[in-house]
Amino acid sequence: MQSIRDLKSNFSGPPPPPMAPGPDAYLQGNIRMTLENTELWKTFHEIGTEMIITKPGRRMFPHCKVNLSGLIPCAKYVLLVDMVPEDGFRYKWNKKKWEVAGKAEPQPPCRTYLHPDSPAPGSHWMKQSVSFLKLKLTNNTLDQHGHIILHSMHRYHPRFHIVQADDLFSVRWSVFQTFTFPETSFTAVTAYQNTKITKLKIDHNPFAKGFRDEGTNKKRRANKDPSCLEKRTKASDILNSEEDSPPEDEELPKRKEEDGVKEERYSPWDAEREHRVRTDSPVGADTRDLYSTEQLVPTPASYQSYSTEQPLGQWGGPGPSQYPPPHHLTADYTTQAVHHSYHHGNVAEWSQYPLFSYSCW
DNA sequence: TCGGCTGCCACTTTTGAAGAGC
DNA sequence: AGCTCTTCAAAAGTGGCAGCCG
């Protein structure tokens, strides 16, 4: 098995240019991570992805699913995900677009989701796509279940970390490689603001199938309380007129919606992006630039910055028996780090990762 | 007054236990 | 006895909506 130190050479010096897949895919450190369902993610991203957060915790949809290559088959790895604030702002939905509504609230306790299969050999991670289906988001700052805590009306993006480590406790001595995908950024909300996002979710999420057929939906409510039908019909009418989607094309509702969506690329964020240009936003004017340039991650609470030559030695967690809920880690980011991230299509190249100070639970 | 949050609802998919058949 | 397949109920996951709260 290759030692962790061997990998380190790949983290020193300036970040490499985007790599193309090739015969050297298994070269040490040549780890590649690609996002699955990129088309779906992009469809949401073009409208302005929203993720519901609830007290008991809510799954993401679309959920994060990635493919990995370039790992050492026999070496063990740990996969982690955390949520990084996009910027230092709080947002509000004003009619048809998101607008900055002030400074971000103080960051909630930062938590990292540990993939349930971790640690597992590289061959395991590479043989099939890796799903983070069970990752849950919550707005409950006192959450005891280990869900990732976010603020409503704030923007985040998931960040994936892969660590070569034989077990959870050697993670602290190991090297991180970090990946992000521009299209996975989202706004955390307690109720959907953009009706187009609601429609997309209903169209694509199997659990929301019950909301797909308007007729069925109305009938369902009508059975319980006829007055509801009237209200719902009115609401539906408003929605339809708002969306300019003729009710008669029930045959291809999804396609119609997607077509309509693409006409409004990034429109929900136009105002906000303009705002960023005018202000001292720590990130670029366009979210797409955010991931391809040197980046400060994230805001007030921060990350620790180390030379990439150093092993991760800040894992301050308790012993195994003290780990309450499995699959979750709490990160305490204490200082700021510079984070490089490079993208090539939907391929997130390895980055000069920030080394966290993890205080586990 | 208003925007955001919460709890409940009806519906769906997922999951796992139990039973039947080979 | 052990395995596979089917069935069914419970659990979990959805968005909508009314009402509460700051």
Tens of pLDDT, residues A283-339:
333 333 333 322 223 333 333 333 222 333 333 333 333 333 334 444 433 322 333
Q: Which of A180, A209, A199 is nearest to A346 (CA)?
A: A180
Distances in whole angstroms, Cα of residue A19 to Cα of each of A77, A100, A148, A179, A218: 22, 36, 32, 14, 52
Residue A186 has pLDDT above 80, yes or no: yes
Distances in whole angstroms, Cα of residue A345 to Cα of each of A259, A267, A291, A312: 22, 22, 12, 29
Residue A84 has pLDDT above 80, yes or no: yes
Q: Which residue is nearest to nucleotide B12 (CA to C1')?
A: A207
Report how far residue A192's alpha carbon sits from residue A120's, in angstroms, rounded to the nearest whole number: 37
Distance of C1' in C8 from CA in A254, Å:
32
Distance of C1' in B14 from CA in A65, Å:
18
What distance lies between CA A301 and its chain's CA centroid?
19
Q: Is the CB of A224 under 7 A from strand B?
A: yes
Q: Which of A36, A26, A38, A107 is nearest to A70 (CA)?
A: A26
Report how far residue A152's alpha carbon sits from residue A90's, in angstroms, rounded to the nearest whole number: 8
Regarding predicted confidence, which is higher, A32 or A10?
A: A32
Residues with CB under 7 A from strand C: A 52, 58-59, 61, 134, 136, 191-192, 198, 201-202, 205, 207-208, 210-211, 221, 228, 231-232, 235-236
Report how far residue A130's alpha carbon sits from residue A120's, in angstroms, rounded to the nearest whole number: 12
Chain B positions with any atom < 7 A from a protein CB: 3-7, 9-14
pLDDT at A162: 93
- Chain A 39-68 contacts with nucleic strand B (CB below 7 A): 54-55
- Tell me the nt nearest to A138, Cα to C1': B5
Report how far residue A36's alpha carbon sits from residue A13's, in angstroms, rounded to the nearest whole number: 30
Distance of C1' in B19 from CA in A317, Å:
47
Report how far residue A27's alpha carbon sits from residue A147's, in angstroms, rounded to the nearest whole number: 35
What's the rounded mean pLDDT across residues A175-179? 88
Tokens linked to A129: 């796509």
Other Cβ atoms within 10 Å of A95 Cβ, number: 5
Q: Model-level pTM?
A: 0.67
pLDDT at A26: 34
Extract the runs of DSSP E, i.e. beta strands, from A139-247: 148-149, 154-164, 176-180, 186-189
